[in-house]
Amino acid sequence: MSIRIGTRGSKLALLQTGTVAKKLSDLGIETEQVIIHTAGDTTTQVPLHEIGGQGVFVRALDDAILAGEIDCAVHSMKDIPVYRPSGLITAAILKRDSAADFIAYRGSLGAVKILGTSSTRRRAQILRHDPSVTVKDLRGNVDTRIRKMSGGEYDAIILAEAGLARMGIRIQGERLPPEKFVPSPNQGTVAVVCRADPSLREVLSALDHPQTRTDVMIERAVMEQLGGGCYTPLGIYCRAGHLIAEVLSLDGTRAERIEMDVKTIEEARTQGQQLRARTQGLIDEAYKQLGIAGDPV
């Protein structure tokens, strides 16, 4: 059996896909990697929310699976929207790496005046921590963002610690504690999505890590209740059943937070519903300020 694996063409995406291919090879399964170009990779001049949010990195790969061009695709799981096309399943979720953010900077951390990020969550959390910082939009792959900082366009940038580790990048900076800077739901996790084919699912499920799956599905249950395509700054993090979730205003001056142990997906949904009720005003406000039309659900 040979499996065609779809992937984005970035260095990080290829490394993650290579990890999956190696695990399958160890099981005696041949693979072929197919690079698929996405709108998120080719349109880097505007903020992410203006071209459809994180889902733009996934859509082209979903279409390729459904069209039969590839058998499965490897994703950073935080890029996968809550609402999925029929005919697709998440067959495997690999053991989670660090979920934390990492702030990289030139000079000293105390001298940071201009910080680059395309994430509304990271923007809000940094402004809450230090309102004096000027946050400017920054898109592009990891190498591009580091190069722009090194060239003096930014004093600091924020990256996912897991991505730096996977790429073997060592850079001056500090890990941001996830208990305070709550990460995006599913950050640090790699997932394999395939068509709903029982034989294919059986093969790929050998790569699944049960504890990681439980934690990230709890995060996704909360995210679903807060809005599948929500552009409000929000962080959701679950580790071994301990859940932290927060929703912030875009400027970081206001926030609502929950923290508790959660045992079931249904319990996570209930907590998400309660947090949604408390933060509806923040969510509506964010959509209005970002110029996003429609009901943010």
State whether 107 and 245 are in the same domain.
no
182 within a domain of the structure (yes/no): no
β-strand pairing of 2-7 with 134-136: unpaired
297 within a domain of the structure (yes/no): no
Q: Which residues pair with 75 in a beta bridge?
A: 191
State whether 8 and 20 are in the same domain.
yes
Of 130, 153, 176, the last residue of a domain is: 176
State whether 138 and 241 are in the same domain.
no
32 within a domain of the structure (yes/no): yes
42-80 residue pLDDT tens: 444 444 444 444 566 799 999 999 999 999 999 999 989
State whether 75 and 202 are in the same domain.
yes
161 within a domain of the structure (yes/no): yes
State whether 89 and 193 are in the same domain.
yes
The answer to whether the beta carbons of residues 225 and 273 sit under 8 Å apart is: yes
From 79, 101, 155, 215, active-site residue: 79
State whether 5 and 72 are in the same domain.
yes
230 within a domain of the structure (yes/no): yes
Which residue type is seen at 208?
Answer: D
Of residues 270, 281, 79, 47, the one with CA closest to residue 296? 281
Does residue 239 have a pLDDT over 70? yes
For the record, the structure tokens of 198 come out as: 């029982």
Q: What is the share, in percent, of the chain residues with pLDDT greater than 70?
A: 91
Q: Report the number of distinct structural domains present in the chain.
A: 3
The answer to whether the beta carbons of residues 95 and 209 sit under 8 Å apart is: yes
State whether 13 and 87 are in the same domain.
yes
102-161 residue pLDDT tens: 999 999 999 999 999 989 999 999 999 999 999 999 988 899 999 999 999 999 999 999
SS3 content of the chain, % helix, strand, coil (to 5): 40, 25, 35
Expressed as residue numbers, the domain containing 17 is 1-94+189-208
**Residue 57: what pLDDT?**
72
90: CATH: 3.40.190.10
State whether 73 and 45 are in the same domain.
yes
State whether 272 and 196 are in the same domain.
no
145-173 residue pLDDT tens: 999 999 999 999 999 999 999 999 999 99
183 within a domain of the structure (yes/no): no
State whether 60 and 84 are in the same domain.
yes
d(CA 122, CA 133): 12
41 in catalytic set: no
217 within a domain of the structure (yes/no): yes
State whether 89 and 194 are in the same domain.
yes
184 within a domain of the structure (yes/no): no
d(CA 57, CA 73): 11
State whether 59 and 126 are in the same domain.
no
If residue 115 lies in a helix (H) or strand (E), which one and from where to where?
strand 114-116
